[in-house]
Structure 1
Amino acid sequence: MNIRTLTAVTLTLALASSPAAADIGLSPFAGYRMGGSVDIETAGASTDDQIRFRDSVSHGLVVNFDLPEAGKQGELYFGRQSTSARLDNGLFAPGTRSIDLTIYQLQFGGLYFPGGKTYGGFVSGVLGVTRLEPDDSSYDTHHRAALSLGGGYQFFLSEQLRLRLDLRGVYTALDSGGSVFCSGGCELKFRSSGYLQVEASAGLVVRF
């Protein structure tokens, strides 16, 4: 199942499971994602290295639906970042120190407004999957569990519109010892249990 199909299925299930009378908010967003480094080693050797993800623009869509308890909402988060992975010292393949890739997150969880309204300050937490997809199909694609925690503020513009500002940490878990992006044989292995990125974003919430 590709990422577009998975997104469509998850969105359908999320909307179908929300209370019939609930308001739904759609928030396309644009942001900037920073950080992310992974410790690796060369298989069968003691050579250590590190993969670093380039800071870059991110964008995506957040879907919220009101829950029966005031101030609580279900939340579906889909994020996308076009970036590159670069080795500090080694090579992914002969002559290749960095590869371009796209990082996707698809996660589901909740959002809470301490004031019990549908605007103002909030905290959020979502859990799901990260997809690490190299642009060159000769390299492996990886799927890993992911968790995002964050907070922000929604400015009230009208009953149907909010301006949403977010700051979230996105943690992707890795299997220590698992292979890194490989092409025609793999000499690199994960040594890290995961990596953390920070994303700052803004979006317009449309409620209906």
Structure 2
Amino acid sequence: MNLRTFTAVLFALTLPAPPAVAEVGLSPFAGFRMSSSVDIETAGASADDQIHFRDSPSQGLALNFDLAEPGKQGELYFSRQSTSARLDNGLFAPGIESIDLTIYQLQFGGLYFPGGKSYGGFVSGVLGVTRLEPEDSRYDSHHRAALSLGGGYQFFLTEQLRLRLDLRGVYTALNSGGSVFCSGGCELRFRSDGYLQVEAGAGFVMRF
């Protein structure tokens, strides 16, 4: 090996290696969620009422992974909201005007970036389950199917870091014959097909 060849090989070995392609993104986020009301009725449909969920902050985590086609990502979405439920015209039980509860969302779906990149504007769609969990153990928890559709923007900061802004609508389907937050002789039944929540959130995407 002559000196010129040796110098060229040595120079190539000292060059910094290109960064590995990031395939997975982890995004903790914080947001605020607003809810529609839920129609209910007592057993025998003798009276109608509505349940209102208090608008409150939410937080969660989104896990994304790049798919083979540029601009498409799979997404696993988890969120948590501490709120309360109250009736318009009545009580859940004697002396109880509202119930504190936590709403959990666990959903799976994907993101689509029209530009074919891993940042910029995107649309999202995920499907999964909502869990309504009262803090008082005397009341029942409920699991219902849920669908989220939304969009947002990811600002490019570095190859490994993005700023993500989201706006999504979360629709939870309700069984019109199902009971709601029972304690002993509960007489309340869902009368609505479902309810809608709107969530605005922001977080950083860390890509690996």
Q: Which amino acid aligns with 2:105?
A: Q
Query: Which residue of 2 is the match for residue 83 of structure 1?
Result: 83
Aligned-pair distance for 1:46? 2.2
Unaligned runs of 5+ in 1: 1-20
Query: Which residue of 2 is the match for residue 159 of structure 1?
Result: 159
2:158 is paired with a residue whose SS is: coil
Equivalent runs, 1:27-106 vs 2, <5 Å: 27-106=27-106
TM-superposition CA deviations, 1:86-137 (whole Å, max 9, x none): 1001111111121000000000001000000000000000000000000001
Contact 2:175 2:193 in 1 (8 A): yes
Q: Which amino acid aligns with 2:130?
A: T
Query: Which residue of 2 is the match for residue 13 of structure 1?
Result: none
Deviates further, 44-53 or 127-136: 44-53
Distance 2:22 2:162 in 1: 17
Contact 1:22 1:67 in 2 (8 A): no
1:70 is paired with a residue whose SS is: coil
- TM-score, normalisation: structure 2: 0.89
Aligned residues: 188
- CA 1:176–1:45 in structure 2 vs 1: closer, same or farther (change >3 Å)? closer
TM-superposition CA deviations, 1:53-105 (whole Å, max 9, x none): 00000000000000000000000000000000010011111111210000000
Distance 2:189 2:94 in 1: 17
Give the percent of matched residue pairs that are identical in Structure 1 and Structure 2.
Answer: 85
Query: Which residue of 2 is the match for residue 207 of structure 1?
Result: 207
Query: Which residue of 1 is the match for residue 171 of structure 2?
Result: 171
What is the CA RMSD across the aligned residues, in angstroms?
Answer: 0.9
Query: Which residue of 2 is the match for residue 124 of structure 1?
Result: 124
Deviates further, 95-104 or 38-47: 38-47
Distance 1:99 1:180 in 2: 12
- CA 1:126–1:118 in structure 2 vs 1: closer, same or farther (change >3 Å)? same
Point out the structure with max Rg over C-alpha: 2
Contact 2:128 2:146 in 1 (8 A): yes
Unaligned runs of 5+ in 2: 1-20
Aligned-pair distance for 1:22? 6.6
1:44 is paired with a residue whose SS is: helix
Moved over 2 A (4+): none
Equivalent runs, 1:173-188 vs 2, <5 Å: 173-188=173-188
Equivalent runs, 1:5-20 vs 2, <5 Å: none
2:189 paired with 1:189 = yes
